[in-house]
Amino acid sequence: MIIGVDVGGTKIAVAGFVEGSAGGSAGSAGRGSARLRMVTDVRTVPTPADAGGPAVVRVVADVIAGLCDGAELTAVGIGTAGVVGADGGIFSATDAIAGWAGFPLPTAMADALAGIGADGIRVAVVNDVHAAAVAEAQIGAGAGSDSILMAAVGTGIGGAVVFADGLHRGATGTAGSLGHAEVVMPDSLAARQCPCGGHGHVEAAASGPAMEQTYLEKSGVRAGLREIDALAQRGDAMAIEVIDDGARFLGRVLASANALLDVDTIVIGGGVAEIGSRYLGAVESSYRTSALPGPSRARIVPAELAVDATLTGAAILAHALS
């Protein structure tokens, strides 16, 4: 059994997979790894965030022990927030999990697995959006496409690039960091500091919390993004402006990114992408206006795999190591 794990700041989700295709669907050319089929339920446990990495790997190992129930474990793939270095260690991360940045996750996980009697298990660690993009490319919204750029728009803006021969992690694991692309924006937004410390970055203007902040500054009313979207649907001019501006900034960044990459499919996921058709329509129209003639023909599609994307992609990558 191959295990996929999604380590988030508040919860950890784990599921087991075996090789094989559920629906006999055709493999996507060139991606090299056999298809996986989820054979367990998805187990979810709270993240022991304050206790940090050593507690996280113990919790994950315990859940895996319960899931395997005698089945032979062959590989474990872990998707997690943060930049993952070439060695699978966490190169940088927020403080959502204490001491996560610098934590040697692959070796600590392998040690924890040895503690449940599973010795010598390969552990693959990958950024959570990178993992989600691998799953979308193989069995989700990007299935059948040659190359995808994924944008995950939620509390931050992440991204990933998957070419025909697989995930492009980049020299330092940072590839696809769309949120930190600069975009032309009004001074009031450009003055905001991005979580990375920079200014003028699209994440500071177009993430979910950023759009909520903009609405608060414009209207004096604190509202969640879904509420703002509902107001926009009822014709509230300020809400429309906030949603459309956020979408427009993202669309322009995607157009710049795809001038470099020229992928055939752009997949948009994350909580913000789920607020409704107005947002995705505005992203697409901004993209098509700004993109070069060739890349402007790229398909733009919403993500399909939702909450299981990261753990599924992590399992696919772990399996590819075997």
User: How many helices and strands in the chain, by DSSP H and E?
Assistant: 10, 13
Q: Is 183 in the site for Zn ion (CB under 5 A)?
A: no
Determine the 3-state secondary structure of 92 from DSSP: strand
Query: With respect to Zn ion, which residue has the nearer C-beta, 145 or 177?
Result: 177
Contact pick of 35, 58, 130, 180 for Zn ion (by CB under 5 A): 180
Rounded least distance, CB 94 to Zn ion, Å: 12
Beta bridge partners of 11: 46
Stretch that binds Zn ion, among 56-64, 199-207, 225-233, 264-272 (CB under 5 A): 199-207
Among 60, 90, 194, 242, binds Zn ion (CB under 5 A): 194
Exposed (0-12), middle (13-18) or buried (19+): which is 286, by Cβ within 10 Å?
Answer: buried
Backbone angles phi, psi at 166, to 5 degrees: 125, -175
Shortest separation between residue 201's beta carbon and Zn ion, angstroms? 4
CB nearer Zn ion, residue 126 or residue 194: 194
Least distance in angstroms from the C-beta of 213 to Zn ion: 15
Residue closer to Zn ion, measured from CB, 35 or 201: 201
Q: What is the dihedral of CA 279, 157, 12, 226, to 10 degrees?
A: -30
Q: Site for Zn ion (CB under 5 A): how many residues?
A: 5
For residue 189, what are the CA distances in angstroms to 73, 217, 292, 317?
Answer: 49, 10, 26, 38
Q: Which residue from 31, 35, 58, 201 is in contact with Zn ion, where contact means CB under 5 A?
A: 201
Q: Tell which one of 20, 144, 186, 198 touches Zn ion (CB under 5 A).
A: 198
306's tokens: 């939702």
Residue with Cβ nearer Zn ion (198 or 294): 198
Instruction: Say if residues 176 and 253 touch (Cβ distance below 8 Å).
Output: no
Q: Which of 196, 223, 230, 259 binds Zn ion (CB under 5 A)?
A: 196
Helices 237-261 and 225-233: crossing angle in degrees, nearest 10, is: 110
CB of 313 to Zn ion, least distance (A): 24
Q: Which positions lie near Zn ion, rule CB under 5 A?
A: 180, 194, 196, 198, 201
